[in-house]
Amino acid sequence: MSIKIENLSHIYMKGTPFEKHALKRINLEIQDGEFIGLIGHTGSGKSTLIQHLNGLLKPTSGTIIIDDLDIADKNVKLKEVRKKVGLVFQYPEHQLFEETIYKDIAFGPQNLGLEEKEIEKRVKQSMEQVGLDFKELKEKSPFELSGGQKRRVAIAGVLAMKPDVLILDEPTAGLDPRGRDEILGQIKKLHKSQKITIILVSHSMEDISKLADKIIVMHDGEIVLFGSPEEVFQQVDLLEKIGLAAPQISYLMKKLKKKDPEIRDNIYTVEEATQEILKMLRRRKNA
Ligand SMILES: Nc1ncnc2c1ncn2[C@@H]1O[C@H](COP(=O)(O)OP(=O)(O)OP(=O)(O)O)[C@@H](O)[C@H]1O
């Protein structure tokens, strides 16, 4: 499902002393099935942008067309928009409230008025899609699960609505490295198997670079970069100016790899880069 945003602006508390121009004439086109990473500092406008995509926020001006549907149009029902676009909020496990995992995931489809048989099918499928065992876990309380598993239940709840676009706001926030890897692995699998459009919001260039086909970089309410990871990483000066320095490491390590092919791929942190450079120096010493 394609998304086309034209001249989208959003001003919070317009006309008050607290007025905030959170989105400034955003233009963006996302193609069906793309995996998009959305990155930017706190306050750059990421959450404001994604909340427009499922109708939670209305534009101050501009249009958002999702699959030929102008979702800002007053006549378009929010229920229709939510069926197309699933949004997983930050810390979605805080919104789990039913006594069993089944009931929690079934909540959305029940609201759609689906038959019990279809609901069960969807709960089962969406649990499988996030790597949770249906039989073993369906009657358990969500609160018996680990942080990462709870989050997967919350994601399954959104998947059970069968959205064409899945937006995840900081899905790895607050998880330990294992939980992070699990969630990212599941999201990657999901994209591959379901071919849905995914927008992954993150502060971590590392997470995003591992998964996304294209990266959107936001700064102060504007999209300052939009392109493949390779294209975005090459804009070293701009990224440095807005304080997103990490991709520089990846970019420089790629350059270094041309001189020493044994350097491994996908290095995004200072620690990893240091390790690889030390290994490279050792290799040279032993050569
Ligand atoms: N409900 C609101 N009322 C007023 N201002 C708001 C509101 N929500 C966000 N803002 C402001 O709008 C700007 C963009 O905020 P937004 O939450 O979209 O940024 P973000 O990039 O998602 O940040 P984070 O990474 O912290 O989630 C910020 O300056 C923020 O303070």
Q: Is residue 121 part of a domain?
A: yes
User: Ligand 1 mean position to 9 CA, how many Å?
Assistant: 13
Segment 147-197, tens digit of pLDDT: 888 989 999 999 999 999 999 999 888 888 888 888 888 899 889 988 899
Specify whether 139 is located in the same domain as 65: yes
Residue 121 sits at the vertex; the CA angle it makes with 119 and 124, to the nearest 5 degrees, is 110
Residue 245 pLDDT exceeds 80: no
Specify whether 164 is located in the same domain as 253: no
Which residues are CB-contacts of 167 (< 8 A; sequence separation ≥ 6)? Answer: 50, 53, 54, 85, 86, 87, 88, 198, 199, 200, 201
Q: Please tell me the total count of domains within the chain.
A: 2
Ligand 1: nearest atom to the Cα of 90? 27
Q: Is residue 236 part of a domain?
A: no
165's tokens: 């676009």
Segment 128-149, tens digit of pLDDT: 988 899 999 999 999 888 888 8
Ligand 1: nearest atom to the Cα of 23? 14
**What is the DSSP code (8-state) at residue 143?**
G
Specify whether 262 is located in the same domain as 144: no
Exposure string over 56-83, b if 16+ CB within 10 A, otherwise e:
bbebeebebbbeeeebbeeeeeeeebbb
**Identity of the amino acid at 257:** K
Residue 240 pLDDT exceeds 80: no
Please tell me the number of Cα atoms within 13 Å of 10 on its side-chain side.
27
- So what's the pLDDT on residue 206? 74
Specify whether 151 is located in the same domain as 187: yes
For the complex shown, is ipTM > 0.90? Answer: yes
Q: Is residue 70 part of a domain?
A: yes
Q: How far apart are CA 13 and CA 159, in angstroms?
A: 33
Specify whether 183 is located in the same domain as 266: no
Specify whether 254 is located in the same domain as 144: no
Query: 252 lies in which domain range?
Result: 247-286
Q: Whose C-alpha lies nearest to ligand 1, atom 29?
A: 43
Tell me if 204 CB under 6 Å of ligand 1.
no
Specify whether 162 is located in the same domain as 61: yes
CATH classification at residue 175 = 3.40.50.300
Specify whether 159 is located in the same domain as 276: no
Segment 36-90, tens digit of pLDDT: 999 998 899 999 999 999 889 999 999 999 888 898 887 888 888 888 899 998 8
User: Ligand 1 mean position to 14 CA, how many Å?
Assistant: 14
Tell me if 42 CB under 6 Å of ligand 1.
yes
- So what's the pLDDT on residue 216? 96
Residue 199 pLDDT exceeds 80: yes
Residue 247 pLDDT exceeds 60: no
Residue 270 pLDDT exceeds 60: yes
Which of 151, 146, 153 has its CA nearest to residue 132? 153
For residues 11-33, average pLDDT: 95
Q: Is residue 242 part of a domain?
A: no
Residue 225 near residue 37, CB atoms below 8 Å? no
User: Ligand 1 mean position to 279 CA, how many Å?
Assistant: 42
Look at 6 and 236; give whichever has higher pLDDT: 6
- So what's the pLDDT on residue 92? 84
- So what's the pLDDT on residue 68? 82
Q: How far apart are CA 256 and CA 102, in angstroms?
A: 50
